[in-house]
Structure 1
Amino acid sequence: MTLSLAFHEDRRQTALLLTLSFTIVAAIAFSEYLTRPTLGVAAFWPANAFLAAGLFTLKGLRRLALVVVFVVAHVAVCLLTGDELLRALLYAAVDSCEAGAVWAVCHRLWKGAPRVRTMRSLAQLPAITTPIAAGSALICASVLHFGYGAPFVESLIDWFLRSALGLAVALPATLVLIDAEHRRSFQSPWSEQLLLMFGVATIALLCAHPAAGAPPALLFPVTLAAAYRLGARGAALAAFLTIAIVMPMAIAAGSSPFNATQDPVIQARTIQVFTSLLFYTCLAAGLAFGQQNRLKRLLLRRELLARAARGRALAATEAKTEFLATMSHEIRTPLNSVLGFAQLLAAREDLPPDARRQVNLIDSAGAALLTVVDDILDFSRVEAGQIELLPGPTSAAALLRDTVAIMAPEARAKGLTLDVEIVDPLAVLHDLDADRLRQVLINLLNNAVKFTEEGRIDARLTIEPGDIEDRLRFEITDTGVGIALDKQGLLFQRFSQTDSSPSRLHGGAGLGLAIAKALVDVMGGKIGVDSVPGRGSCFWVELSAPVAEPAPAPEPAKPAAPGAARILIVDDHPINLEIASALLALVGYEVDLAENGKQAVEKAEAAAYDLILMDIHMPLMDGLQATRAIKALRTPTGKAPIIAMSADALPRQVERCYAAGMVDHIAKPIQREVLYAKIERWLHPQPDAEAAV
């Protein structure tokens, strides 16, 4: 790869040397033969600019070879036009030194070759080259005045304009043509480039020829069109082409549309000013168009990079979701056996006390593990933006008391005092999502109990009436370890804990408070903490809620006897079938079993079932396919409610269950109370429940 790049660079340098050598010889001949005879001094001298550009871009011996070509061509052409050898050598030496001085100064300022890509760099070049041109003009004028008796002022002006115009126009134009960035900015087809240059040449001929009489202002639109379509390179080519046609023809003709006077000096000065204005106008426009084009390409590139980054982020999110789903399923499946059999053992009346205590410990440990898994699922719902509130008439005071009652046994087991204080002057109902608010308060109370070894925990509710909404403030205050100020900022961040050392006393995934904050944010409230290390903490939640009217009390349902219901359990895992059937048998349901979706469809065709509990991942036919097939049956079972009973508990997985035709979802490990409640709900649905679904 390195050898290939070196080979290509060597070829590029050689091609550049040949091109610049030819251009220098042609430029010297052009200036000496076409623009010098009338004035005695060339009106336009670009050869020094070409030599300076070569000094910038060539390396090593090629740079020296270009200088030799310049000096030899300069001397030879001067001799052919009638100059004596000494004068020819003087001109060649002064011009070579001028180009060398431009190269040295620019190289020092730019730390390399200058790049004409902005208006600033375009203005900097003539600011550097003009004083150098004035110095070389002063040298030539002095030698010609004292050595050959030429007028000093006229010689100084002629030589200064000759060199300054050549450097100011040809040097930036040459650097633009060499710069690869300008070639990449505008990649027009050759046919369009040739057509534009043909138009420039045609208008230049019409403006320069005395017989045509076309106004010189016509050159501006066509050269600007070249700059618009080809960028700065088009402007540079148009400028060189215009100068090559206009300057010799107009000066040689003696009278042209550029100036009505016959004075050749004034004629030359007019053409010099016009070509300078034309060049800088077009090149400035070309640079502006090029900058605009580069910005477009940069924006496009950044957009492509942003799309690629977004794609990688989505892929990473998808991979994380799949990993989370897999791990959740793999954890819940064995946990279903642990908790299921623990519940079955705990229901037995023939257990000795020590065995019952051990079974309860197993159940407690499994429940703790299930809490961690549920926290991860809740957090995935938060990240996916799938938290939906179901507000309804709620007594905030009753909700706090019920929540405290749930946590009271754990507090008493640690010898803690747990009190409730309610400040509610109106005692009205508020429009709140009771389940989500209870989840937040349980999390705060659970943390208070966990991190308090002795003392008390106080739960306080203060309600301040308002004109439109009331302000509710919940406070959970403990006498626990407290939290250092520098650690408080980590509390509500995901996967963060105030104590992550190996010797920490309390476990957890570090998601509970992050989920609580997300829920409070969705409810439009605020959550925070005030804590002093060693003196305890006070976690608070502030919400605004409107007053709600009490909901009409539903008529009490009269459920049929459990034994009247026949339930089909579908699961490919024998242990899961055993647990589910045992739990349902405890309350008298008639149970039938199927080991896969295909068998479930066959049984649904052959017998009538009041409800089906369906696993998702099964061989031969999965739960989603089986649900669709059963729903398509014209038998009574085809209308039976199908409840998913699966370790797939992520939001997206649950949505697939509903989309397949299932009416509800029970996440493994199976909680006996949840199982019974959902079966009862769908065996004896209330009108409001059906409407909600």
Structure 2
Amino acid sequence: MDKRLINLLLVEDDEDDYILALDYLQEIPDFEFNVKWLSDYDLIMQALQDEPFDLCLLDYQLGAHTGLSVLEAAKNMGCATPFIMLTGQSDGVLDAQALTLGAEDFLVKSEINSVQFIRAIRYALARKDIAIERLERLKIESDSRAKDRFLAHLSHELRTPLTSIIGYTDLLLSRAELDSIKPELSIVHSNSQHLLALLNDVLDLSKIRENTLSLNKSNFALSPFLADLQNLFGIAAQKKGLLFTIEADTPVPEFICSDATRLKQVLINIIYNAIKFTQSGEIRVLLTFEQKHNQSVLNFSIRDTGIGIPQEKLKRIFNPFEQVQDTTTRTEEGAGLGLAISASLIKLLGGNFQVDSVLGQGSTFTFLIDTGVSSENLVNLNLQQPVALQHKALTTNDTLQGNVLIVEDVSNIRLLLTNIISATGAKVTSVDNGQKALTLLSDEQQHFDLVFLDLHMPIMGGREVVVAARSQQITTPIVALTAAALKGSEETLQALGFDQVLTKPIDTQQLHECLTHHLSAASNERDALESEQPITTQTKKVLLLEDDKDARELMGLLLKSLGIEVFSAQNIQESLRVYQQEQRFDLVILDLNLPDGSGFDAAQAIKNINATQQLAIISGSEPEPESLVALGINHVLLKPVSLPDLQKLIE
């Protein structure tokens, strides 16, 4: 067997000891030593700096210097060579000093003909090998993180041109005179959305690998959730002549606690693949609820009668960018990220993922998730009422009257409540933090019949608002919105001054009952007064700060299509000049990356002029939450920005 070559530096000022050590080194099996012998301090330090030694045998006595001084100097300059200290006699203090300075071992010269000498050398070399392996592993991990950061950065950069593609297509699709080419425009729009979905997959994968992807768990109704998927994929399956069903062979929880968005993402990925690779037969989703290891779990099984997956490729399909079909011959599109992301998401959701497949007969994907609920309140799965019908009672009853204030920092929830409550006939005003709410409630010119107040918001939370309002003798009914339905929390909130508590996700029936209870029909006198008052409208003014010319022009057009008067700037200095000239803006939209600073710099400068100015950030990536909170920015739009995005922001 070939011997392992070891480059060894022998630091010894006695030639007899050098020859003796060399003889014993040659007798060690499995190793061949290439020995360099030095005794001069400067030459020793130069050699340790210039040459990669696997091991150094270091004599303690070196004339004007000692082995300890060599060892200390070597470690100070970052030398990774392992050292074994040699001395003429045993010395516990010297031994401790050597080990403290980083020596691997300490031996008396009389022991170099013993097994202990051989063992010390083997251990020193083994520890060096372990250190090298660790460095290699760290390098691989670092390279992997660098690749993931690059992918994330690339996807962010691609969002800017996508903004123009999707935005202009939105704009063209809204023009009646272009009806003749709308089929072609729809194709452009559809493919742009597909490209955006692929970019989002890349971002998700990067977040998963960097352990920055977090879940947003909440209680949601299972049957409407699955009914939504039934409606979504039923038509797609029908177009291919396939049967698509979602069933449960056991009663299931009425509500589960999980991340509905991520669970839907997993199911869409798997079902979409099943339909894509199935030409005839069926796709069946089967649910089973069971108690497992003191845990209530929900099993999902998605079976198709498609082309199947070769056994040798089953283990690879969960690897990022892997495709069952070769990229040069495959007929179906996709980046090969869906299953990799799905497997990682299922782990985050508290479950596991597996697949069984027979080539030419079909595949079965199974996974389970922790439901986060007990085995009580089980019901039969009912997919007859889709999610869209949940608001029927609200949308069909438009007899309520009154002024409602919604205080919620999450724009999606704020928009949802606004739409639902507006559909009842009530007038809605919404703000995104408690300070603005308290200002409105304190204004004698304003009148509200009911307030929905979120508890957790930046600047001023709901608890502080209700305490301040009640101390000012404001008697308007205030309903708390909270995601924390803890025991005793309702009593505590009512003691602070809340009239009622609604937990998230908001139950529409409870919301309707709350509105009916608190809102009374407006008097004929108020209606008469309102009808006599002239209707005055004021065009909203928006300042747009965006350095990219195409994106700036596009967003300007989109905003103008919404009836907005737009002022634009391409850098911070220009934006401040425009802002000071015009004085009043309903909203300032700031790009995060600018040629003369960041959007946060511009936000700070504008806040210095007008602390109450409404601001929105547009960016290719999620901004730092700390910076948003510090500047009181509650609106963030991720590129590409579409017409519906801007419409929601303006509303």
The TM tier, using the shorter chain, reads 0.5 to 0.7
Does residue 549 of structure 2 align to residue 574 of structure 1? yes
Q: How many residues align?
A: 446
Indicate if the aligned counterparts of 2:266 and 2:342 stay in contact, CA closer than 8 A: yes
Kindly indicate whether residue 449 of structure 2 is the aligned counterpart of residue 622 of structure 1: no
| 2:438 counterpart residue number | none
TM-superposed deviation, 1:501: 4.3
- TM-score, normalised by the number of residues in structure 2: 0.58
Q: Which residue of 1 aligns with 2:162?
A: 335
Identity of aligned residues (%): 27
Give the AA of the match of 1:190.
G
Alignment of 1:631-670 (within 5 A): 631-637=607-613, 640-642=614-616, 644-646=617-619, 648-649=620-621, 658=628, 661=631, 662-670=633-641
Match of 2:201 in 1: 375
Tell me how far apart the structure 1 counterparts of residues 540 and 637 of structure 2 sit (CA, whole Å).
Answer: 19
Letter of the 1:645 counterpart: I
Superposed displacement of residue 412, structure 1:
3.9
State the match for 2:57 in structure 1. 184
CA distance in 2, matches of 1:108, 1:573: 73
Q: How far apart, in 1, do the equivalents of 2:370 and 2:155 lie?
A: 35
CA contact (8 A) 2:278 2:307 kept: yes
Shift of 1:564: 6.6
Matched residue, 2:90? 224
CA offsets 1:555-594 (integer angstroms, 9 cap, x no match): 8364459977543322122322233233334444444322
Q: Secondary structure at the match of 2:559?
A: helix
Residues 1:476 and 2:302 are matched in the alignment:
yes
User: How do 1:108-257 residues align onto structure 2 when only pairs under 5 Å count?
Assistant: 184-190=57-63, 223-225=89-91, 235-236=108-109
**Contact kept in structure 1, 2:55 and 2:124, CA below 8 Å:** no
**Structure 1 622/110 Cα, relative in aligned 2: closer, same or farther at 3 Å?**
closer
List aligned pairs for 1:269-418, cutoff 5 A.
282-283=110-111, 288=116, 292=120, 295=123, 299=127, 303=131, 305=132, 309=136, 312-313=139-140, 316-317=143-144, 319-353=146-180, 355-418=181-244
Corresponding position of 1:439 = 265
| Structure-1 residue corresponding to 2:404 | none
Cα deviation for residue 393 of structure 1 reads 1.1
| Equivalent position of 2:255 in the other structure | 429
- 2:421–2:428 contact (8 Å) kept in structure 1: no
**8 A contact 1:483–1:531 mirrored in 2:** yes
- The match for 1:4 is none
Per the TM alignment, residue 380 of structure 1 is displaced from its structure 2 partner at its CA by: 0.5
Name the aligned partner's letter for residue 421 of structure 2: P
1:641 counterpart letter in structure 2 = L
Counterpart of 2:488 in structure 1 is none
**Residue 530 of structure 1, aligned match among 329, 332, 356:** 356
1:592 and 1:542 map into 2 onto residues whose CA distance is 52
Q: CA deviation at 1:526?
A: 1.5
Q: CA–CA distance in 1 between the matches of 2:611 and 2:635?
A: 21
- Quick one: distance in 2 between partners of 1:451 and 1:627? 50
How far apart, in 1, do the equivalents of 2:173 and 2:313 lie? 42
Secondary structure in structure 1 of the residue aligned to 2:370: strand
Specify every segment of 5 or more residues in structure 2 that has no aligned partner in the other structure, as ranges.
1-8, 36-52, 68-86, 378-412, 431-536
Alignment-mate amino acid for residue 458 of structure 1: R
Q: CA deviation at 1:396?
A: 2.1
Aligned mates of 1:545, 1:310 — CA distance in 2 = 37
Q: Structure 2 counterpart of 1:332, which letter?
A: R
| TM-score for both structures, normalised by structure 1 | 0.54
2:72 is matched with: none
SS in 2 for 1:224: coil
Shift of 1:188: 4.3
User: Could you say which structure has the higher strand fraction?
Assistant: 2
Q: Which amino acid aligns with 1:571?
A: E
Q: Residue 514 of structure 1: CA displacement? A: 0.6
| CA positional deviation for 1:420 | 2.6
Query: What residue number does 1:595 align with?
Result: 570
Instruction: Give 1 or 2: higher helix fraction.
Output: 1
Give the direction of change, closer, same or farther, for the CA distance of 1:396–1:458 in structure 2 (3 Å limit).
same
| Cα distance change of structure 1 residues 309 and 567 upon mapping to structure 2, 3 Å threshold | farther
Match of 2:586? Answer: 610
Residues 152 and 206, structure 2, Cα contact 8 Å, conserved in 1: no
The offset of 1:515, in angstroms, is 0.5
Structure 2 Cα separation of the partners of residues 467 and 288 of structure 1 = 51
CA change 1:514–1:193 in 2 (3 A) is closer
Which residue pairs with 1:493 in the alignment?
Answer: 319
Whole-Å Cα distance in 2 between the matches of residues 519 and 490 of structure 1? Answer: 17
- Contact 2:111-2:117 within 8 A present in 1 as well: no
Partner of 1:275: none
Whole-Å separation in 2 of the counterparts to 1:403 and 1:527: 20
Distance 2:363 2:259 in 1: 26
Pair 1:366–1:294, CA change in 2 (3 A): same
| AA in 2 matched with 1:528 | Q
Contact 2:223–2:254 under 8 Å retained in 1: no
Say whether the 8 Å CA contact 1:598–1:621 is kept in structure 2.
Answer: no
Contact in 2 for aligned 1:227/1:286 (Cα 8 Å): no
Give me the whole-angstrom Cα distance separating, in 1, the residues matched to 2:627 and 2:33. 67
CA 108–321 in structure 1, closer or farther in 2 if over 3 Å, else same: closer
Contact kept? 2:256, 2:372, Cα under 8 Å: yes
Match of 1:70 in 2: none
For residue 191 of structure 1, report the CA deviation from its aligned partner.
Answer: 6.3
* Whole-angstrom CA distance in 2 between matches of 1:580 and 1:182: 65
Partners of 2:368 and 2:645 in 1: CA distance = 31
Task: Indicate how the Cα distance of structure 1 residues 107 and 433 shifts in structure 2: closer, same or farther if over 3 A, else same.
Answer: closer
Q: Give the AA of the match of 1:670.
A: V
Query: CA contact under 8 A between 2:107 and 2:117: conserved in structure 1?
Result: no
* Equivalent of 2:559 in 575, 584, 590: 584
* Code of the aligned partner of 1:283: E
How big is the shift at 1:288? 4.1
Q: Deviations over 1:249-279 (max 9, x none)?
A: xxxxxxxxxxxxxxxxxxxxxxxxxxxxxxx
Q: Distance in 2 between matches of 1:481 and 1:463?
A: 29
CA contact under 8 A between 2:572 and 2:596: conserved in structure 1? yes
Per the TM alignment, residue 542 of structure 1 is displaced from its structure 2 partner at its CA by: 1.0
Over 3 Å counting, the alpha-carbon distance change for 1:489 and 1:322 in structure 2 is: closer
Whether the 8 Å contact between 1:227 and 1:234 is mirrored in structure 2 is: no
Alpha-carbon distance between aligned partners in 1 of 2:211 and 2:299, rounded to the nearest angstrom: 25
Please say which of residues 389-398 and 668-677 is displaced more in the overlay.
668-677
Output the CA distance in 1 between the equivalents of 2:107 and 2:297. Answer: 70
Structure 1 pair 507–185 and aligned structure 2 pair: CA distance change class (3 A): farther
Q: CA deviation at 1:677?
A: 3.8
1:338 CA drift (Å): 1.4
TM-superposed deviation, 1:111:
10
Larger radius of gyration: 1
Match of 2:516 in 1: none
